[in-house]
Amino acid sequence: MRRAQKENLIRGFFCLFALLSIFFLSGIVIVLFKEGLPIFEVAPLGEFLFGKFWYPTYEPPDFGILPLLLGSLWVTLGALIIAVPLGVASAIYIAEAASPKIKEFIKPVIELLAGIPSVVYGFFGMVVVAPLVAKIFNLPVGLNAFTASMLLGIMAIPTITSISEDAISAVPESFKEASYALGANKWETTAKVILPAAAGGISTAIILGMARVIGETITVLMVAGGAAVIPHSFFEPVRTMTATIAAEMGETVAGSAHFHALFAIAIVLFVITLSFNIIADLLTQRFRRRLG
Amino acid sequence: MRSRKVKEFVGFAILRLATAFILLALFIILYFITVRGSKVVNWQFLTQMPREGMTAGGILPAILGTFYLVTCSICFALPLGVAAAIYLTEYAKQGRLIRIIRIGINNLAGVPSVVFGLFGLAVFVKFFGFGISILSGGLTLGILILPTIIRASEEALLVVPQSFREASLALGATKWQTICKVVLPNAISGILTGSILGVGRAAGETAPILFTAVTFYTMRLPRSIFSEVQALPYHIYALMTEGTHPEAQVPIAYGTALVLLFLVLGIDLIAIIIRNRARREKW
């Protein structure tokens, strides 16, 4: 009898911890909405999302996040142009062409690339990449969307490579054998059989890479230049949603409209990254089902 | 016939080139920071206080600050996360609710870290009144790595074969004895790997501690968990964006970046080694 009681007690204890974890994590959503929603009394949702001016400290203030939204979109797009081809190509190489020895070396190295803190990327961007970009393109300063995209692209590569590699390795051996049996060589098999079969998993990888880039804060804060205006070219300074929160939160008064506006930006970010993650989840499930 | 072979050769050459390019990028980053950083890093740099408005001296407060923050976060997240994972995999009835919770936890792992920073600001700094402090920052980092730890622990627990549990229960062991003596020992390396990677992440994050824990100018070491601290990642950021003497601050930033890189990559490497060793010993 006492043994059963003890068992129940332990079970209750673990249940409590699980509930506590869920409580803290759901707390994030609750706090975001509680602190963010009041801004829509000042600036209606449409005005907030599509307003072209972000002047939160003017009188009267403007809370239009379109420039920030476009800033985030701009650098994310730029980063993907760099990260997708390199990430997917290296994934194919690792999964299909590399010898076991090279594989054993490259995989941890790419994990290390993922482990470099974003502030280090930002620092490297400021002291090495930005001056180089300024020199090559004849600009007064190199802190702009282009530099930010390059760094974010490198940062997204590990995510894209490792998830794509898993997807490619998950393609059944029988697919390859069937292709070889039909007389295809290794390249044809890779390009026409393995890649299409792994496409679902690779799209998951790209979406998760996007989620990583759009949420990146300190790197863009350091290298993107920081102008909260709608960008017209890659060589202009931009400001992302994340950088705005990080740069302005320290100066706001808790409870002010500006404070609520920054939380509302966080809601937008949260919704974007959450939908990316959910899409990625759905794609993965479909991918698994298709491969049986 | 020949064009097919040429195509194959060129195709794989491009793949090889792309991979080489990634390795090159990593090498360049490490090279610059190691070479320029090692010029300033020495024993004094690691053990002295900063002097003359952050333009001279060492980075001891930042090193200690990061140590305190990470310790605080792991003390909070590790017991909570592992216990939650044990409940979810071993005790909870696997159904719709658990699936939704699992999806929720997975997705929170992808939420931008700056959002966690806002949460920490609203809850720990303001609501609980901990102020800008080690405690607020540590808890914020703890919540940031909580989903990662839960997920890694769950994965580690799930790969322990069901037959192990059945064998233990058949011998008359209770559920708890089974978890404690059979399941956990077999899952420990996976849990450890996930947690160590969490530590590495917590040590390198800047955005979550930006408005919950850090300060740039402080001449004192923290006295309690309610003190503001310096931290390595924030120190790099502040040296590059604040202050008026870039010619003196940039070298210190290089040194700090080297120390942070060494710390974080060292932690990650330990995790990778543990995982690779465990993989070789699997049933």
The CATH number assigned to the domain holding B260 equals: 1.10.3720.10
Residue A167 covered by a domain:
yes
Residue A102 covered by a domain:
yes
**Smallest CA–CA separation between A116 and chain B, in Å?**
7
Q: Which residues of B touch A13 (CB under 8 A)?
A: 83
Residue A74 covered by a domain:
yes
pLDDT at site A127? 93
pLDDT at site A148? 94
Tell me how far apart the 2 most distant CA atoms of chain B are, in Å.
76
Q: Which residues of B touch A89 (CB under 8 A)?
A: 14-15, 18-19
Burial label for A108, CB within 10 Å (0-12, 13-18, 19+), is middle
What is the domain range of residue A140?
Answer: 48-291
Counting as low any pLDDT under 50, the low residues of chain A are none
The total number of structural domains that make up chain A = 1
3-class DSSP state of B229:
strand
pLDDT at site B78? 93
Whether residue A273 and residue B111 make contact (CB cut-off 8 A), yes or no, is yes
Closest CB to B80 among A17, A109, A154: A17
Cβ neighbours of residue B86 closer than 8 Å, sequence gap 6 or more = A14, B153, B157, B179
Residue B54 covered by a domain:
no
pLDDT at site B1? 59
Q: What is the crossing angle of helices B134-158 and A2-36, to 10°?
A: 130
pLDDT at site B283? 59
ipTM for the whole predicted complex goes beyond 0.95: no
What is the domain range of residue B112?
Answer: 60-280
CATH number of the CATH domain containing A103: 1.10.3720.10
Residue A150 covered by a domain:
yes
pLDDT per residue rounded down to tens, chain B (283 residues):
578 889 889 999 999 999 999 999 999 999 999 999 999 988 888 888 887 777 778 888 899 999 999 999 999 999 999 999 999 998 888 888 888 888 888 888 888 999 999 999 999 999 999 988 999 999 999 999 999 999 999 999 999 999 999 999 999 898 899 999 999 999 998 899 889 988 999 999 999 999 888 877 766 777 788 888 889 999 999 999 887 788 888 999 999 999 999 999 999 889 888 888 877 766 5
Residue B104 covered by a domain:
yes
pLDDT at site B244? 78
Residue B23 covered by a domain:
no
pLDDT at site B219? 67
Give, for A239, the enclosing helix (H) or strand (E): none
Nearest alpha-carbon partner for B76 in B202, B210, B234:
B202
Residue A238 covered by a domain:
yes
Residue B26 covered by a domain:
no
Closest CB to A86 among B22, B143, B175: B22
Give phi and psi for A63, each to the nearest 5: -115, 60
Q: How far apart (Å, rounded) are the C-alpha atoms in residues A280 and A233? A: 30
The total number of structural domains that make up chain B = 1
Which residues 88-107 in chain A show a CB within 8 A of chain B?
89-90, 92-94, 97-98, 106
